[in-house]
């Protein structure tokens, strides 16, 4: 008995030593193995013959219906199945997709006249008609979740409250012509119609499918049709031969649901998927890896990360300014984000109206923060509870860095980590004193960026400012770009440099790995994934 | 025996009822709201109120719970808030995956664990005994999720023998079932060894050996048969545990089993789905325990259940 | 009147003596057991490892080459070298130092969670065992409910409810593991309460509290010690699993579980980062398991299986 256990202990020690040695050995051979797996990747694609792109995705676990579920992982898939009337480009311009030409706008900016492309077919073979467009918009409003996108359309309130069955502002002339009348001038309206939420569904099939819409059935006018959606497995799309722009080059797109992000990357390295999103934390490793660095692509989505302070907890703007001054954005961008992010000059990001490049970057000045706190009556500093959603691992690191940086300013930061469900609840109910959050535009217009800061309390700051709200009203009623630039720049100044309701932290770069054999695919700043023009060499 | 079984079943109903109540209360006190999560982008108060009403979340708590119990009695747990999938369908879908994984890891751990334990007992004190005992203690002491990650990188990525993730082929179950089965194999080897040593020390085995019956015949025919009771008890419980799904292994290998379903339901605060999953897990646990207790009595006639038994 | 009281006290003294003598027998029993344990070299070796681990945890600041939360961005994910034997993590923190500090979390969680579990388990177990009947039924059902409830879901709920943090994790893990203690204690108390000296003290009017605290629990002590020792590795594993799922110890506090979780992203490039925290868990768990087994064999052989 004794002898046996002594042996056990010895062998344990030996096993430990071995595993330690084994560990360092593997790290030396890493590069070789990578190039080896690269070769297998090329082989596997060539041997199948079919041009199918395999995309690593997270199981959305909900119906693939952006009218109901606004997660970006849903749109990543549906953007290839369904289409909206218009499409917005990286530079913010719009182009017609399902329309024969850009809509005509009446002089009072209230009535928009549309002409649909003739003979656009849905995947079930039906031809798209104006009534399908009307149906889709009415459904969006009835679904409630993203309904407010269309709140400026005449008849919205009645339909939303259930006192009317139809959207009175939508008038059908014939199968391809219709007009939409607004309650008041609303400049971003056409941009709204380019979002995935306003995708056009076939009325008949969608009604028949009921709760199965987006689960078992999903028809659109897009380049691919949905063959299957299996929970936990994936979504398979195949080419739609009657696509109105002519059949695309790919045979299909195969979304594989891989829950764990680390496993997703392993599957990419093993050559089993062609596209995978990667976290900025792995940037230094991939960028120094010979094989992977050319396969890694980055893009800056329009939006930003910000630190939002609840004005009910911290009613003094000087305190909020002090908080804004006590976070070292440049250090965070350089270190935690490995230089992949940039320090913003304004909350409204570059690429949309209202962005002001001439402003200085938001700075780190703990001394001034201290003075401001003293002025506001806190010479000994303050305690600050920063709430972070653990779904985004990077946020925890940033909050931790902020904790260190804020000490200089006499701010004692306590980091509170909560999961997504608790986070969204606390955010809505005012339980977040100070939170790190991100916001991306739904359509490239400053209104989409600033919307959460006005009217509704969807933003955790609960900040309201009459002048700001007034400017936003003006902004949507104005069509002249220069005038709008001035209006939104002014509104932003009130929000971020006078009232310090929310303070921009950084503009991130998102990264993905793409099989080098795939051409014609790029994710742009609109953050949408279209496989329409892609091909496999 | 029959009255004991009936009594135990009655207790089971009570336990399941208690579990459903605790689950309900836990979800009410835990911060987080499925509706706010669902709405994510435009979670303004009016929209939240509207959706809450649609889901019946604005009813008083006791009404909500009563409605749930009313359904649960008919095995109708309702539909998921998020997917609208019928809860029992979701459970069945995930059960099929978990069941396959459980079977494979069960076979793996039994095929490795029991013979290893027998060898170890027979070769007591020899090299093979030491090796088996070291491996078994490593198997029991290594965190399963860590073993999973290491297996994944070695056999999935580097050697490219088995799939890294997924669950569509038998091959893809190999790594998860090894990772999950390792600790069960370890404990099976240990219990088999102990149990065999106990039996082999007994007189009738020695007599058989003395009579010149061949060594392995004695071991397999007489010793193993008698050493079986504790082994059967253990593997029965182990299989039950496996059927409740492993959240960690399922996470690493991206397998949509019961464990993942439970975690997702919890993180989404999806009450119907969570109630269903928790009830399923508890039910399996209770039933497996009952079967093990009964089979214990069946295998060992010395144990009789009746009045006065603790 | 006064005579009555004195009589009571005399009786009280008498069975106090009985009980204490009974306990004395136990203390000589502990002496024998210790001798037996000392003969078990491998268990003693593991006891040595445990002591070393505890010393490492206590003197972590003296042993660790770096501050475990110090972020050195000039050396992010450095390969193992003389300066950093196990390399650095994604924030440039020294992995060796983090593993050393991680022992604080694991060991304190193992021990404190078991203390919590014992407090709850011994209290409920002895009440159930002593009173029997309805009280026993109720407590037994509670135990069954706790046992059948999926453990990680329960832990997730508790941690989300109370908020993340070391103290809350102590409580959550204690609540997760008390049932085993309670069951064992309940069984032991049921047997012990039939013993003569307890009968006698009950007959002489001792309070229930006194009987349980002085008469029953000391006699269950060996069971409790063994259960605590064998419960520690269990709690350590739970901590690692919860931290791996992101609901246990929160960064920047290093814990072996959250290190494995963070390292997973880099496993293909810095395998040591993933391997070493797992090895640390394994050594600790093995040491406690083997020592616990030895302790059980010496103190309370009937606990086996």
Whether the CB of A30 is below 8 Å from some CB of chain B: the reply is no
Sign of the Cα torsion A101, A102, A103, A106 reads negative
In chain A, the residue whose alpha carbon lies closest to the alpha carbon of B97 is: A232
At residue A394, the pLDDT reads 80
Contact A185, A108 (CB under 8 A): yes
Model confidence at C5: pLDDT above 60: no
Cα dihedral value C3, C6, C7, C13, nearest 10: -170
What is the ipTM for the molecules in this complex?
A: 0.85
What is the Cα–Cα distance from C264 to A288, expressed in whole angstroms?
19
**Closest C-alpha to A200, from A173, A176, A184, A183:** A176
What's the confidence (pLDDT) of residue A12?
40
Whose tokens are 């594993």? That residue is C237
Tokens of A308: 């939002």
Interchain contact, C153 vs B137, CB within 8 Å? no
Q: Which residues lie below 8 Å from residue B204, measured CB to CB, with a gap of 6+?
A: B222
Name the 3-class secondary structure at A117: coil
- Please give the DSSP secondary-structure letter assigned to residue C248: S
How far is C273 from A486, CA to CA, in rounded Å? 52
Gap between the terminal Cα atoms of chain C: 54
Res. A10 pLDDT band, cuts 50 70 90: very low
CA distances from A393 to A24, A302, A313, A396, C93 (A): 27, 21, 26, 6, 17
In C204-294, beta strands by DSSP E: none
Residue A416 pLDDT > 90, yes or no? Answer: no
Write down the number of H helices and E strands in chain A.
16, 20
Which pLDDT does position A210 carry in this prediction? Answer: 87
- A458 pLDDT band (50/70/90 cuts)? low
- What is the rounded distance in angstroms from the CA atom of residue A476 to the CA atom of residue B68? 47
Mean pLDDT on A386-399: 85
Place of tokens 């969204």: A424
CB A56 within 8 Å of CB A267:
yes
- Strand A111-115 vs strand A104-105: parallel, antiparallel, or unpaired? antiparallel
Q: What share of chain C in percent tops pLDDT 90? A: 29
Tell me which residue in A8, A12, A231 faces B256 most closely, judged by beta carbons.
Answer: A231
Contacts of B310 in chain C (CB under 8 A): 187, 190
Given a cut of 80, is residue A167 above it in pLDDT? yes
| Span C132-188, pLDDT tens digits | 889 998 999 999 899 889 988 999 898 888 887 888 889 889 988 898 889 888 888
Return d(Cα A91, Cα A275) in angstroms, integer.
25
Strands of A382-389's sheet in order across: A411-418, A382-389, A434-440, A303-309, A502-506
Could you give the CA distance from residue A444 to residue C121 in angstroms, rounded to a whole number? Answer: 60
**Residue A257 has what DSSP assignment?**
E
Q: How far apart are CA C111 and CA A283, in angstroms?
A: 39
Q: In this predicted structure, what is the pLDDT of residue C305?
A: 44
* CB atoms A5 and C40 under 8 Å: yes
Question: What number is the average pLDDT over the span C77-96?
Answer: 87
A511: β partners = A278, A298
Place of tokens 């008609």: A129
Burial class (CB in 10 A: 0-12, 13-18, 19+), B140: buried
Q: Give the tens place of pLDDT for each residue, A209-221.
A: 988 899 899 999 9
Quick check: helix, strand or coil at residue A313? coil
ω before A177 within 30° of 0 (cis)?
no
Instruction: Check: CB of residue A236 under 8 Å from CB of residue A254.
Output: yes
pLDDT score at A453: 81
Model pTM score: 0.83
Model confidence band, residue A325 (pLDDT cutoffs 50, 70, 90): very high
CA pseudo-torsion sign C263, C268, C270, C273: positive
Say whether pLDDT at A445 is over 80. Answer: yes
Rounded distance between C-alpha atoms, residue A217 and residue A197, angstroms: 17
Contact C160 A418 (CB under 8 A): yes
Query: In the structure encoding, which two tokens stand for residue A210, read together?
Result: 């009921």
Flag if C152 and B263 touch (Cβ within 8 Å).
Answer: yes
CB-based contacts of A493, cutoff 8 Å, min separation 6: none
Helix or strand run (H / E) with residue C98: helix C95-131
Q: What is the pLDDT along chain B (310 residues), one digit of tens a residue?
A: 688 888 888 888 888 999 999 999 999 888 888 888 887 666 677 778 888 888 888 888 888 888 888 888 888 888 888 888 889 999 999 999 999 999 999 999 999 999 999 888 888 888 888 889 889 988 889 999 999 999 999 998 888 889 988 888 889 899 999 999 998 999 899 888 888 888 877 777 777 777 777 777 777 777 777 777 778 877 888 888 888 888 899 988 989 899 999 998 998 899 999 999 999 999 998 888 888 777 766 666 554 444 333 2
Name the residue with higher pLDDT: A452 or A136.
A136
Nearest CA of chain C to the CA of B254: how many Å?
Answer: 14
Interface of A with B in 40-69 (CB under 8 A): 40, 59, 61-63, 69
Please give the full DSSP string across A167-207, using - where no structure is assigned: -TTEEEEETTEEEEEBSS--TTHHHHTTSGGG----HHHHH
Question: Which of these ranges, A17-31, A193-207, C16-30, C74-88, has the smallest mean pLDDT?
Answer: A17-31
User: Who wins on pLDDT, A324 or C221?
Assistant: A324
pLDDT value, residue A369: 94
State the pLDDT at residue C19.
56
Paired tokens of A362: 């938001």
Choose among A62, A211, A258: nearest Cβ to B165. Answer: A258
Instruction: Check residues A112 and C30 and name the one with the higher pLDDT.
Output: A112
Interface mutation target, options B27, B51, B81, B84, chain A, most CBs of A under 10 Å: B84
Over residues A323-345, the mean pLDDT reads: 91
Of C261, B159, C76, C85, the C-alpha closest to A29 is B159
Q: What is the 3-state secondary structure (H, E, C) of C126-186?
A: HHHHHHCHHHHHHHHHHHHHHHHCCHHHHHHHHHHHHCCCHHHHHHHHHHHHHHHHHHHHH
Instruction: Please tell me which residue of chain A has the smallest CA distance to C69.
Output: A400
Tokens linked to A275? 């596209």
Give the 3-state secondary structure percentages of chain A, helix then strand then coil, rounded to 5. 40, 20, 40
The C-alpha of C158 sits at a distance from chain B's nearest C-alpha, in angstroms, of 8
In chain B, the residue whose alpha carbon lies closest to the alpha carbon of A439 is B41
The DSSP line for A364-413 is --HHHHHHHHHHTT-TT-EEEEEEEETTSHHHHHHHHHHHHHHHTTTEEE
Taking each helix axis as running N to C, give the angle between helix C95-131 and helix C41-58, from 0 to 180 degrees, rounded to the nearest 10.
120
Contact A456 B84 (CB under 8 A): no
Give residue-wise pLDDT tens across range C231-257: 899 999 999 998 888 888 877 788 999
pLDDT at A373: 94
Supply the mean pLDDT for chain A.
Answer: 86
Length of chain C: 305
The answer to whether A218 and A227 have CB atoms below 8 angstroms apart is no
Instruction: Write out pLDDT tens, residues A87-144.
Output: 988 887 899 999 999 999 999 999 999 999 999 999 999 999 999 999 999 999 988 8
What is the distance, to the nearest Å, from the Cα of residue A162 to the centroid of all Cα atoms in its chain?
31
CA separation for the pair B290, B296 (Å, rounded): 10
B&C contacts, CB < 8 Å: 110
For helices B271-299 and B258-268, what crossing angle results, to 10°? 140
Task: Calculate mean pLDDT across residues A475-490.
Answer: 91
Inter-chain contact A442–B41, Cβ cutoff 8 Å? yes
Range name among A417-426, A501-510, C52-61, C110-119 with the lowest pLDDT average: A417-426
Quick one: residue A230, left, alpha or beta (phi over 0 = left, psi -120 to 50 = alpha)?
A: beta
Mean pLDDT, rounded, for A402-420? 90
DSSP, collapsed to helix, strand or coil, labels residue A305 as strand
Place of tokens 């407090």: C119
Give the residue carrying structure tokens 């400053």. A446
Residues recorded for chain B: 310
Q: Which of C157, C185, C192, C186 is nearest to C172 (CA)?
A: C157
Chain C neighbors of A281, CB-CB under 8 A: 90, 265
Residue A8 has pLDDT above 90, yes or no: no
Q: What does the pLDDT read at residue C29? A: 61
CA B289 to chain centre: 12
Whether the pLDDT of residue C290 is over 60: the answer is yes
Instruction: Give the integer Cα–Cα distance in Å for C166 and A287.
Output: 37
The phi and psi torsions of C246 (rounded to 5 degrees) equal: 85, 15
Chain C CB contacts of B31 under 8 Å are 160-161
Whole-number pLDDT of residue C166: 84
Distance CA A154, CA A327 (A): 45
Out of A284-288, A312-316, B140-144, C5-9, pick the least confident. C5-9
Q: Which residues of B touch A33 (CB under 8 A)?
A: 157-158
Identify whether the C-beta of residue B128 lies closer than 8 Å to the C-beta of residue B116. no
B38: three-class secondary structure by DSSP? helix
């Amino acid at each position: 008995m004794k002898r046996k256990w002594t042996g056990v202990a010895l062998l344990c020690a030996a096993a430990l030593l071995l595993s330690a040695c084994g560990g360092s050995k593997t790290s030396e051979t890493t590069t070789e193995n990578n190039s080896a797996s690269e070769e297998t990747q090329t082989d596997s694609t060539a041997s199948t013959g079919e041009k199918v792109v395999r995309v690593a995705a997270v199981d959305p676990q909900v119906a693939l219906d952006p009218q109901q579920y606004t997660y970006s992982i849903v749109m990543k898939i549906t953007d290839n199945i369904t289409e909206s009337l218009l499409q917005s480009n990286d530079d913010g311009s719009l182009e017609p997709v399902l329309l024969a030409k850009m809509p005509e706008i009446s002089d009072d900016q209230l009535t928009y006249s549309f002409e649909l492309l003739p003979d656009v077919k849905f995947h079930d073979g039906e031809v798209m008609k104006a009534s399908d467009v009307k149906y889709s918009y009415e459904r969006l409003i009835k679904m409630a979740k993203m309904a407010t996108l269309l709140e400026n359309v005449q008849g919205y309130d009645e339909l939303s409250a259930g006192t009317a069955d139809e959207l009175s502002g939508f008038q059908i002339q014939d199968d391809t012509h219709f007009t939409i009348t607004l309650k008041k001038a609303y400049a971003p309206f056409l941009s709204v119609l380019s979002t995935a939420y306003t995708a056009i569904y076939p009325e008949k099939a969608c009604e028949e499918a009921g709760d199965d819409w987006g689960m078992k059935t999903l028809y659109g006018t897009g380049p691919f049709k949905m063959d299957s959606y299996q929970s936990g497995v994936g979504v398979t799309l195949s080419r739609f031969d009657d696509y109105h722009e002519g059949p695309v080059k790919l045979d299909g797109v195969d979304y594989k649901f891989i829950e764990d992000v680390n496993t997703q990357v392993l599957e990419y390295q093993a050559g089993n998927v062609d596209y995978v999103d990667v976290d900025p934390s792995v940037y230094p490793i991939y960028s120094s890896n010979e094989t992977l660095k050319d396969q890694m692509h980055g893009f800056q989505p329009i939006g930003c990360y910000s630190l939002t302070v609840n004005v009910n907890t911290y009613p003094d703007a000087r305190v909020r300014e002090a908080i804004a001054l006590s976070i070292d954005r440049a250090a965070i961008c350089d270190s935690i984000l490995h230089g992949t992010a940039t320090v913003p000059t304004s909350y409204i990001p570059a690429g949309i109206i209202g962005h002001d490049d001439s402003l200085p970057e938001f700075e780190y000045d703990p001394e001034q923060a201290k003075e401001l706190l003293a002025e506001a009556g806190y010479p000994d500093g303050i305690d600050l509870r920063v709430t972070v959603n653990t779904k985004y691992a990077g946020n925890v690191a940033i909050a931790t860095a902020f904790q260190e940086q804020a000490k200089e300013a006499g701010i004692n930061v306590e980091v509170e980590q909560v999961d997504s469900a608790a986070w969204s609840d606390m955010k809505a109910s005012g339980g977040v004193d100070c939170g790190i959050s991100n916001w991306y535009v739904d359509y490239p217009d400053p209104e989409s960026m600033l919307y959460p800061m006005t009217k509704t309390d969807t933003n955790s700051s609960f900040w309201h400012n009459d002048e700001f709200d007034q400017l936003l009203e003006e902004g949507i009623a104005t069509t002249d770009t220069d005038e709008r630039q001035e209006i939104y720049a002014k509104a932003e100044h009130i929000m971020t440099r006078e009232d310090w309701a929310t303070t921009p932290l950084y503009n991130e770069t998102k990264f993905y790995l793409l099989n080098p054999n795939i051409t014609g695919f790029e994710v742009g700043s609109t953050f949408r994934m279209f496989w329409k023009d892609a091909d496999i060499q | 025996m029959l009255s004991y079984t009936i009594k135990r079943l009655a207790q089971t109903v009570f336990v399941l009822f208690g579990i459903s109540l605790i689950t309900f209360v836990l979800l009410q006190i835990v911060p987080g709201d499925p509706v706010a999560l669902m709405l994510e982008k435009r979670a303004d108060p009016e929209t939240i109120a509207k959706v809450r009403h649609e889901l019946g979340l604005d009813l008083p708590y006791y009404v909500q719970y009563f409605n749930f119990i009313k359904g649960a009695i008919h095995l109708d747990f309702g539909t998921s808030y998020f997917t609208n999938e019928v809860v029992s369908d979701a459970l069945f879908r995930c059960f099929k995956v978990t069941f396959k994984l459980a079977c494979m890891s069960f076979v793996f751990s039994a095929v490795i664990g029991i013979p290893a334990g027998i060898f170890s007992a027979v070769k007591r004190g020899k090299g093979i005994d030491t090796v088996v005992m070291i491996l078994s203690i490593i198997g029991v002491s290594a965190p399963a999720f860590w073993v999973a990650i290491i297996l994944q990188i070695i056999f999935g990525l580097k050697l490219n023998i088995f799939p890294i993730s997924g669950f569509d082929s038998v091959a893809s179950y190999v790594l998860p079932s090894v990772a999950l089965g390792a600790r069960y194999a370890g404990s099976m080897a240990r219990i088999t060894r102990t149990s065999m040593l106990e039996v082999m020390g007994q007189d009738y085995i020695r007599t058989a050996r003395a009579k010149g019956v061949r060594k392995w015949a004695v071991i397999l025919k007489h010793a193993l048969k008698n050493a079986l009771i504790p082994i059967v008890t253990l593997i029965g419980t182990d299989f039950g545990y496996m059927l409740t799904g492993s959240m960690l292994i399922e996470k690493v290998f991206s397998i949509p089993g019961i464990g993942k379903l439970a975690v997702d339901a919890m993180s989404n605060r999806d009450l119907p789905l969570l109630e269903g999953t928790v009830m399923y897990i508890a039910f399996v646990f209770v039933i497996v325990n009952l079967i093990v207790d009964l089979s214990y009595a069946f295998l060992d006639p010395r144990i009789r259940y009746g009045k006065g038994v603790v | 009147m006064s005579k009555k009281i004195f009589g009571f006290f005399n009786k009280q003294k008498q069975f106090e003596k009985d009980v204490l003598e009974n306990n004395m027998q136990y203390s000589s029993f502990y002496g024998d057991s210790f001798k037996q344990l000392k003969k078990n070299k491998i268990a003693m070796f593991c006891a040595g490892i445990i002591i070393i681990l505890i010393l490492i945890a206590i003197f972590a600041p003296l042993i660790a080459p770096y501050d475990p939360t110090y972020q050195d961005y000039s050396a992010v994910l450095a390969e193992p070298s003389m300066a950093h034997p196990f390399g650095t993590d994604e924030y440039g923190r020294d992995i060796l130092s983090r593993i050393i500090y991680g022992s604080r979390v694991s060991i304190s969680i193992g021990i404190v969670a078991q203390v919590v579990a014992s407090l709850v388990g011994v209290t409920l177990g002895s009440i159930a065992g002593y009173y029997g009947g309805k009280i026993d039924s109720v407590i037994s059902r509670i135990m069954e409910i706790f046992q059948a409830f999926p453990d990680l879901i329960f832990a997730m709920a508790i941690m989300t409810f109370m908020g993340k943090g070391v103290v809350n994790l102590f409580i959550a893990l204690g609540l997760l593991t008390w049932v085993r203690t309670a069951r064992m204690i309940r069984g032991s108390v049921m047997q012990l309460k039939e013993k003569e000296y307890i009968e006698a003290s009950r007959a002489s009017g001792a309070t229930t509290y006194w009987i349980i605290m002085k008469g029953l629990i000391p006699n269950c002590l060996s069971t409790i010690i063994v259960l605590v020792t064998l419960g520690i590795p269990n709690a350590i594993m739970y901590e690692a699993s919860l931290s791996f799922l992101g609901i246990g110890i929160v960064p920047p506090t290093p814990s072996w579980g959250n290190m494995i979780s963070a390292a997973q992203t880099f496993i293909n490039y810095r395998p040591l980062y993933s391997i070493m925290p797992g090895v640390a868990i394994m050594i600790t768990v093995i040491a406690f398991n083997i020592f616990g087994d030895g302790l059980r064999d010496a103190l309370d052989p009937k606990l086996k299986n």
